Amino acid sequence: MQDRTASPKPFAGVLPELKVNGRDLRIDACRGIALWCIFLDHVPNNIGSWLTLRNYGFSDAAEVFMFVSGVTCALAYGKVWSCEGWTSVIRRTLRRSWDIYVAFLLLTLACAILVHLAGGDRLADVSNTRILLDQPGSALAHAAILQYRPVNTDVLPIFVLLHLFFAPLLWLLLRMPNATLGASLALYALVHMFGWS
């Protein structure tokens, strides 16, 4: 006798889940493409930069990377919330924020040490480390409160703040998704209108 329980057939339009060990490969691919575009945008005089978003859209690949990272945080911490609760979400976001903060400070010190060892005044100016070399105490104090950043490290302080405030943001997303996304869009527009950084 045949088993009468039939497994449901997926709809024709449903995309397969591309997951490996809990990771969504589609998100990883989007982040990887954004990182390659960021790399191409920072290499001077290369033809590959003509293919990146900064030439064709209203944003560049760094903003795409931040958006995809926000989606990744929502998926990861949303799963933690559903399995372990708010205490685990808060603990994990604070821990990740601290890890990124420490990495930012160590990277800032490493940049200054490398520029000092290289001994180049031009390199100190180009890498925005001259102030750190000339006034280390003041510059490190400003780095500690995320006001000073060497060149191309801008994303790390943003990630520190993103993870630091992600638990309340996730709470708002779960309670009032439309208002939260609307406020996010309004903030994005205001940043571009007034040139906030």
Does 58 or 104 have the greater pLDDT score?
A: 104
Residues 26 and 75 in one domain: yes
Residues 27 and 61 in one domain: yes
Domain count, the chain: 2
pLDDT tens by residue, 138-172: 999 999 999 999 988 888 998 999 999 999 999 99
Q: Is residue 63 part of a domain?
A: yes
Given a cut of 60, is residue 7 above it in pLDDT? no
Q: How far apart are CA 77 and CA 83, in angstroms?
A: 10
Q: Is residue 36 part of a domain?
A: yes
| Beta bridge mates, 19 | 24
Q: Is residue 189 part of a domain?
A: no
Residues 100 and 133 in one domain: yes
Task: Single out the residue in 64, 84, 104 at which a domain terminates.
Answer: 84
Residues 158 and 127 in one domain: yes
Helix and strand numbers (H, E) in the chain are 9, 2
Residues 89 and 135 in one domain: yes
Record the pTM.
0.77
Residues 34 and 105 in one domain: no
- CA-nearest of 79, 68, 73, 118 to 93 is 73
b/e code 138-156 from CB counts within 10 Å (16+ = b): ebeeebeeeebbbeebebb
Q: Could you say which DSSP state residue 20 is in?
A: E
Range of the domain at 114: 85-172
Sequential DSSP letters for 121-165:
HHHHHHTT-HHHHHSHHHHHHHHHTT----TT-THHHHHHHHHHT
Q: Is residue 10 part of a domain?
A: no
Tokens representing 118 are: 């290289």
pLDDT tens by residue, 36-71: 988 888 888 888 888 888 888 777 788 888 889 888
Q: Is residue 8 part of a domain?
A: no
Type of residue found at 152: N
